[in-house]
């Protein structure tokens, strides 16, 4: 490994890194009878697109990731207070994917981590975060695509490569029995964390809360194994609500949704997910379950805790336990790099805060250890907990 980053004196544990899927990420292990339900197609201009369930899947405008946005190219634009439209029009810069093998292959990624001063990381996929919304009307297709994807992720990246790259597989709850089978397979393969969409679950029996007892076999296994249940920002379906106001009903992150949708949906999915897990009793029934909010920011935390306190004071018999206590016991939060982390630490224990760079996304940090700049007002011991020790301890216990 190379020398320590000059600003820290120790190596970072990053709770939010990303990979970019290769073209065969979903198809390498896809059953033959599903290949008509998920395939690549090329338009007249030579651009490649994905078709899922008979529909064009336009979650991302360029699912090949080539060319790719330069890591961190939007951070300065957003820091200047530009609108999202201005940032996307003026701030994007691109480069050939071939020049960034670390985005799609583990060997180069480990070398890049050495250069960045990153000891270990949770490594999340990118394109797959839109999958379950696209297949919500077909739980069987969801299950087949998720299992195929997770097999690719294990094959291509591994779930705990060199004890440093902890690739995070997807766990869909759409078919609870299949979720248990898949989780057992993931745990057998060494997975330390799973990525769960923070949203109501579209099952064959209709929509269900993730806190419903029907999912207790899943949460029980996660608790027993110490698995991190990561509610990562995803296409969670909330634009079906703001669409009545904006006319935009699909979650396509590459299209500006405007300030109304940004305000109305901000952190709604993760707040509702955490609320469901607490109020519907999942964490009361599984008190050692570990939920991690990733890429949802943290400014929602004080509001939710205040609502928990107010509603519990009014109707304590409606809760399986004190919801604030449940949150502090079972929830870890990855704030955005631009948020005042010192303020967050006045609302939740510092042991529940994790640093995440969102590298190599355009609005993330090109140098993950720059997250330390968000820690003004945080003491050096607590800063080390946030930047390294908290996630290290979580992964060691998983």
Distance CA 40, CA 86 (A): 32
Section 241-258 average pLDDT = 78
Residue 127 DSSP code = G
Q: How many CA atoms lie within 13 A of 154 on its CB side?
A: 20
Write down the pLDDT at residue 173. Answer: 98
- The pTM assigned to this predicted structure is 0.95
Backbone angles phi, psi at 121, to 5 degrees: -155, 150
Q: In this prediction, what percent of the chain has a pLDDT beyond 90?
A: 84
**E strand segments, the chain:** 12-18, 38-42, 48-52, 55-57, 68-69, 94-95, 118-124, 165-167, 193-196, 201-203, 206-208, 228-232, 290-294, 331-333
Q: In this prediction, what percent of the chain has a pLDDT beyond 70?
A: 94
Per residue in 105-153, pLDDT (tens digit) is 999 999 999 999 999 999 999 999 999 999 999 999 999 999 999 999 9
Per residue in 320-342, pLDDT (tens digit) is 999 999 999 999 999 999 999 99
Residue 2: pLDDT above 50? Answer: no
Domains of the chain: 12-397 (3.20.20.140)
Residue 102: pLDDT above 60? Answer: yes
Residue 1: pLDDT above 80? Answer: no
Residue 256: pLDDT above 80? Answer: no
Contact 328, 302 (CB under 8 A): no
């Amino acid at each position: 490994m190379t020398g320590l980053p000059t600003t820290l004196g120790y190596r970072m544990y990053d709770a939010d890194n990303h990979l970019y899927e290769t073209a065969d990420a979903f198809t390498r292990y896809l059953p033959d009878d599903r290949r008509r339900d998920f395939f690549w197609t090329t338009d007249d201009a030579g651009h490649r697109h994905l078709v899922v369930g008979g529909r064009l899947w336009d979650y991302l405008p360029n699912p090949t990731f080539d060319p790719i946005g330069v890591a961190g190219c939007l951070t300065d634009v957003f820091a200047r207070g530009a609108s999202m439209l201005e940032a996307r029009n003026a701030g994007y810069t691109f480069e050939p994917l071939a020049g960034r093998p670390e985005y799609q292959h583990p060997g180069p990624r480990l070398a890049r981590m050495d250069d960045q001063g990153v000891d270990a990381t949770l490594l999340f996929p990118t394109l797959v975060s839109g999958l379950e919304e696209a297949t919500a009307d077909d739980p069987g297709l969801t299950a087949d695509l998720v299992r195929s994807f997770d097999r690719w992720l294990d094959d291509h990246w591994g779930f705990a490569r060199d004890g440093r790259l902890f690739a995070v597989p997807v766990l869909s709850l759409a078919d609870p029995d299949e979720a248990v089978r898949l989780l057992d397979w993931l745990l057998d393969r060494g997975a330390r964390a799973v990525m769960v969409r923070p949203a109501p679950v579209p099952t064959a029996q209709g929509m269900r809360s993730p806190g419903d007892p029907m999912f207790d076999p899943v949460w029980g296994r996660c608790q027993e194994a110490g698995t991190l249940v990561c509610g990562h920002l995803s296409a969670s379906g909330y634009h079906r609500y703001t669409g009545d106001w904006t006319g935009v009903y699909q979650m396509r992150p590459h299209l500006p949704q405007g300030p109304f949708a940004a305000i109305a949906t901000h952190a709604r999915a993760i707040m509702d997910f955490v609320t469901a897990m607490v109020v519907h009793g999942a964490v009361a029934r599984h008190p050692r379950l570990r939920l991690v909010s990733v890429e949802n920011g943290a400014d929602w935390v004080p509001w939710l805790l205040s609502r928990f306190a107010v509603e519990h004071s009014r109707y304590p018999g409606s809760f399986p336990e004190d919801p604030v206590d449940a949150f502090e016991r079972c929830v870890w939060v990855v704030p955005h790099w631009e948020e005042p982390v010192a303020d967050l630490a006045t609302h939740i224990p510092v042991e529940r805060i994790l640093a995440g760079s969102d590298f190599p996304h355009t609005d993330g940090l090109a140098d993950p250890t720059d997250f330390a700049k968000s820690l003004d007002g945080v003491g050096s011991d607590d800063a080390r907990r946030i930047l390294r020790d908290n996630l290290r301890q979580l992964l060691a216990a998983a």
